[in-house]
Structure 1
Amino acid sequence: MAILDEIEYRRNDGGEDLEAIYRLRYKSFRRHGLLLSESADERMVDELDEAPNCYKFGVFMNNHLVSTIRLHHLTKEMPYAPSMTVFSDILQPRLDRGESFIDPSRLSIDPDLTTSFRVLPYITLRLAFIGVIHFNTSGCISMIREEHTGFYARSFDSISLCEPRLYPPFTMPIFLYETRTDHSLQLSLERFPFFASTASERRMLFDQPKRGELAPLTILPTAKYLKAAA
């Protein structure tokens, strides 16, 4: 909870911050040996970054970009997400029945900070949890490497939906895991109180500004205020 005092979230659709996010993705994935090929411009970006249901976030500590995540709000009307390129046969029937999901991807932590700030993956994944609440989705879908399956199962009560599959350009099979809202929402809040958020924070992170309004440059985490009120 204390580190939230140093954290700012920024939703990015363009400009220097977005370029920094693309470069951090590349740096993190290359450092961990997850990409098959090099990129001359050292950026990691694809067509799903421009999907209408895509939300790209940078996490800043003391005005320095330390991590990033991309979220897709997956619905029957907008079935655009990384998971649908590999696991559409699993997910499309559920979308057709009216379910919806948050699909987090491109989770990247500055590799120079991973040993100093081990809480950063949680601080970053907090955005996916907030998205689940804001959009009232059925659950959160995660495509993860085998070595991360235990973390997701222990931390978020996630379950495997099928056998792993290949997902180019990555170098290993990818697992599809789901955290169900109806089963695990309250459990996650009890386990990680800093995942809590106010309605105002959720709106600033995900809602489009009304006509004549400017989008907020930065959004501060609000969990500490809810804890103080309690």
Structure 2
Amino acid sequence: MSTASQLQSSSSRFASTLIDLLDRVEYRRVSLDEQFDPVYRLRYEAYRREDFVPINSQEITRDVYDDADNCYCFGVYIDGILVSSIRFHHVTSSNRQSPSRTIWPEILDPKLDQGDSYIDPSRFTADHDASLALPALPYLTLRIVAMASEYFTVRYCIASVRAEHAAFYRRVFGSERLGDERNWGELRFPVCLYAAEVPTIRNRVADRFPFFMSTPAERDALFGPGLGPRKIVAPTARVAHRLRVIENQRAEPTAV
């Protein structure tokens, strides 16, 4: 078997494993009214482990961006146990609340001024034991961001990431560096600004990593307006991938 075939086979096995693991995953959206959701405690424990935030008596980590009306925050549960969390802001020219925009306004404001929009993920934290046991946990968590980029039809999905994590975003999402290294709010580490152009990378990411795929019903359940936070949303990557395979087969030219 050639090296290219071996890499493709390995990638296919990884994708199949992730889709199987998603059968045990649930996404739960955090209510803005719930000040002590377990997600905020998970953040605190993750940041305290590396001394990124000071000790506080409530043992939670929240900030003003959690209360923004364009903020969406989620916990990722496996077999009913909280293993990771992430939030994002859907940023448009008319609603510019965004942690990354606060750090790099001279880079992001011009994009908003010309009518572009973006998803700004932040507060990606994980349970320590779960992250050791599940190396694929970043994929399961960032799937939320991939779905949001599709649902809100944004041009960019940006990422404010530590230098040691940048290679992951370049490899998986094709992200390119937009901004220099700067400090991230009250956290005690610097981050760089990266961005992926969603219309350009959408199909390539779906083909390579089908576990990022989802059905409209799942996206509506997670992000739809007027229905409030959901208790539990089950992933639909397996169904979405099957539908994509069928559509691709139908689109293939018929031999004559």
- 1:158 matched residue in structure 2: 175
Greater CA drift, 24-33 or 107-116: 24-33
The C-alpha deviation readout for 1:6-51, integer Å capped at 9, x for no partner, is 000111115769520000011112223333x222211110011010
- 2:253 matched residue in structure 1: none
SS of match in other structure, 1:128: helix
Aligned 8 A contact 1:208 1:215 in 2 = no
Aligned 8 A contact 1:145 1:172 in 2 = yes
The answer on 1:128 being equivalent to 2:145 is yes
In the alignment, which of 210, 226, 229 is matched to residue 240 of structure 2?
226
Seen in structure 2, the aligned counterparts of structure 1 residues 32 and 188 have a Cα distance that, compared at 3 Å, is: farther
- 1:28 matched residue in structure 2: 46
* Bigger Rg, which one: 2
Aligned 8 A contact 1:100 1:137 in 2 = yes
Give the TM-score, by structure 1 length. 0.93
Aligned residues: CA RMSD: 1.6
- 1:217 matched residue in structure 2: 231
Alpha-carbon deviation of 1:216? 3.6
- 2:216 matched residue in structure 1: 199
The answer on 1:9 being equivalent to 2:27 is yes
Moved beyond 4 Å, runs of 4+? 14-18
SS of match in other structure, 1:124: helix
Provide the C-alpha distance between the structure 1 equivalents of 2:36 and 2:232, rounded to a whole number of angstroms.
14
Tell me the percent identity. 38
The answer on 1:99 being equivalent to 2:110 is no
Aligned 8 A contact 2:89 2:120 in 1 = yes
Greater CA drift, 58-67 or 180-189: 180-189
Number of aligned residue pairs: 226
- 1:185 matched residue in structure 2: 202
Structure 2 unpaired stretches of 5+: 1-18, 246-256
Seen in structure 2, the aligned counterparts of structure 1 residues 69 and 18 have a Cα distance that, compared at 3 Å, is: farther
Provide the C-alpha distance between the structure 2 equivalents of 1:18 and 1:98, rounded to a whole number of angstroms.
36
Seen in structure 2, the aligned counterparts of structure 1 residues 50 and 207 have a Cα distance that, compared at 3 Å, is: same
Alpha-carbon deviation of 1:171? 1.9
**Structure 2 letter corresponding to 1:130:** M
Alpha-carbon deviation of 1:228? 3.5
SS of match in other structure, 2:203: helix
Provide the C-alpha distance between the structure 2 equivalents of 1:18 and 1:133, rounded to a whole number of angstroms.
30
Provide the C-alpha distance between the structure 2 equivalents of 1:163 and 1:190, rounded to a whole number of angstroms.
31
Structure 1 unpaired stretches of 5+: none
Provide the C-alpha distance between the structure 1 equivalents of 2:23 and 2:210, rounded to a whole number of angstroms.
15
The answer on 1:118 being equivalent to 2:135 is yes
Seen in structure 2, the aligned counterparts of structure 1 residues 51 and 14 have a Cα distance that, compared at 3 Å, is: closer
Alpha-carbon deviation of 1:122? 0.5
